[in-house]
Amino acid sequence: MSKRDLKKYLAELNKEQLEEQIIELYEKFSPVKVYYDFAFNPKEDKLLQESRTKISHEYFPVKKPGAKWRPKAKMRRSVAQKIIKHFIALGVDSFVIADIMLFNIEIAQTYSAENFIKQELFYKSMLNSFEQAVNFAISNGILGEFKARIIAIQQETIQQKWKNKYDFEAIVDKIDF
């Protein structure tokens, strides 16, 4: 069904029928419920904090009470990417999205400062995340608000002697702050 056909169909329904369909969608499909729950009660601060915690646990997992050992860090970029995609779909404020994008890289750098990471994929992945965050900030006109954090991330790659530090530097050099 095309968008045009959908509009035509919806125009034929009365208010009660529309309400019934929306309630049915809300009850039947989880993404619709999540969307409406957010749309009518957008607790972005709480959502941001929960997301930061979830991303942090990828690098610094919490030892469960009573457990004798601490779980190993998984360092999955996909967790942050899923959160970012979800935020974009919900229409979360672009400042919050950019914040979580940069936080993901910052927490990974905090981890790599304390732990040697031999997987090349980790560094390539962080470069991709950095480039996406910078492009997102540029496209949403909020680059100036995140300038200090972007430069700090790039400087940290030099400090930690990442092999792709010059790629980070090239991205920052292209930016006109």
Kindly report, residue by residue over 95-113, the tens digit of the pLDDT. Answer: 999 999 999 999 999 999 9
Q: Would 104 be classed as within a structural domain?
A: yes
**R_g (Cα) of the chain, nearest Å:** 21
Q: Would 37 be classed as within a structural domain?
A: yes
What does each C-alpha distance from 101 to 6, 51, 54, 133 come to in angstroms? 35, 11, 13, 6
* Band of residue 62 on the pLDDT scale cut at 50, 70, 90: confident
Which residue range(s) make up the domain with 126? 16-174
Q: Would 57 be classed as within a structural domain?
A: yes
Q: Would 4 be classed as within a structural domain?
A: no
Helix axes 77-90, 94-114, angle to 10 degrees: 170
**Greatest distance between any 2 Cα atoms in the chain:** 64
Q: Would 5 be classed as within a structural domain?
A: no
Of 26 and 105, the structure prediction assigns the larger pLDDT to 105
pTM for this predicted structure: 0.81
Q: Is the pLDDT of residue 70 over 90?
A: no
CA dihedral 27, 32, 33, 39 (to 10 degrees): -140
The pLDDT mean for the chain works out to 92
Domain count, the chain: 1
The one-letter code for the residue type at 2 is S
Burial class (CB in 10 A: 0-12, 13-18, 19+), 92: buried
